[in-house]
C-alpha cells in the first residue's frame, strides 16, 4: 500500500476557492482562541496560490 501526503491547498484550484477558504477560516478563527488556525490558513492559501501560478504557467497558449 502506498501512502501519499495530501494537502487541502491542492484542492483550491481557483482564486474564488482560495478566497472562500480564507473567509471560512477567518469565521472559524473568530470562535477559537488559538491563533495558529488562522496562521495555518494563510500558509495553505499561499501554497494554493503558488500551485495556481504553476498551473497557469504550464498551460498552452498562456
> Tens of pLDDT along 8-55?
888 888 999 999 999 999 888 888 778 888 888 888 998 888 877 766
For the whole prediction, is pTM greater than 0.75?
no
Please report whether residue 2 resides in a domain.
Answer: no
Q: What domain count does the chain have?
A: 1
Cα of 5 vs its chain's centroid, Å: 15
Domain with 18 in it: 11-53
Please report whether residue 41 resides in a domain.
Answer: yes
CB 13 within 8 A of CB 56: no
Please report whether residue 25 resides in a domain.
Answer: yes
Would you state the pLDDT for residue 21?
A: 92
Task: Kindly give the interhelix angle for 36-57 and 15-30, rounded to the nearest 10 degrees.
Answer: 180
Would you state the pLDDT for residue 16?
A: 94
pLDDT band at 59, cuts 50/70/90?
low
Amino acid at each position: 500500500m502506498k501512502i501519499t501526503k495530501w494537502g487541502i491547498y491542492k484542492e483550491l484550484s481557483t482564486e474564488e476557492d482560495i478566497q472562500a477558504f480564507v473567509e471560512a477560516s477567518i469565521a472559524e478563527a473568530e470562535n477559537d482562541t488559538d491563533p495558529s488556525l488562522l496562521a495555518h490558513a494563510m500558509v495553505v492559501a499561499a501554497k494554493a496560490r503558488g500551485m495556481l501560478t504553476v498551473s497557469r504557467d504550464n498551460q498552452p497558449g498562456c
